[in-house]
Amino acid sequence: METCIFCKIIRKEIPTNILYEDNEILAFLDIFPASEGQTLVIPKKHAKYIFDIEEKEYINLFLKAKKITKAIDKSLHPIRTCIVVEGFAVDHVHIRLHPCYEKHLNLKPVEPKPSKEELEKVEKKIKSALK
């Protein structure tokens, strides 16, 4: 899709902090996080509704989200990382991983938005745990 922001990220037209990438999946830090390390896991193939994607793609998306979650948990030490699949903010299938540092899930973006340097620091921590 020409105008989809996630498709632009996939095509590297918009810079982002990529945590994981393979032929089918891209995971990157959310630039409007509700908590440190909030990550988006998306299929590279554009789809608007998660229940319309092929079963193999669906399973792969969730398996990669699990892998990224384990790295978030290992590197950032939240109480747990929650998963949200809603699909309204961007019309491209995506899983949001929310590291929770308190016993409630805050879905509101933190203010002010993290700096480029702060995002790069978190990116390095999570990427090192993925190895």
Q: Please, what sign has the CA dihedral across residues 103, 34, 129, 50? A: positive
Task: Tell me the pLDDT tens digit for each residue of 22-48.
Answer: 999 999 999 999 999 999 999 999 999
| Catalytic residue from among 46, 77, 92, 94 | 94
Amino acid 112: pLDDT = 85
Residue 104 annotated as catalytic: no
Please state, in angstroms and rounded to a whole number, the distance separating the CA atoms of residues 124 and 130.
10
Pairing of strands 80-84, 39-43: unpaired
Count of C-beta atoms within a 10 Å radius of residue 72: 27
- Comparing 66-75, 83-92, 104-113, the range with the smallest average pLDDT is 104-113
Above 80 in pLDDT, residue 104?
Answer: no
What is the reported pTM? 0.90
Amino acid 87: pLDDT = 77
Whole-angstrom Cα Rg for the chain: 14
In the chain, where does DSSP find H-type helix? 5-10, 55-76, 116-130
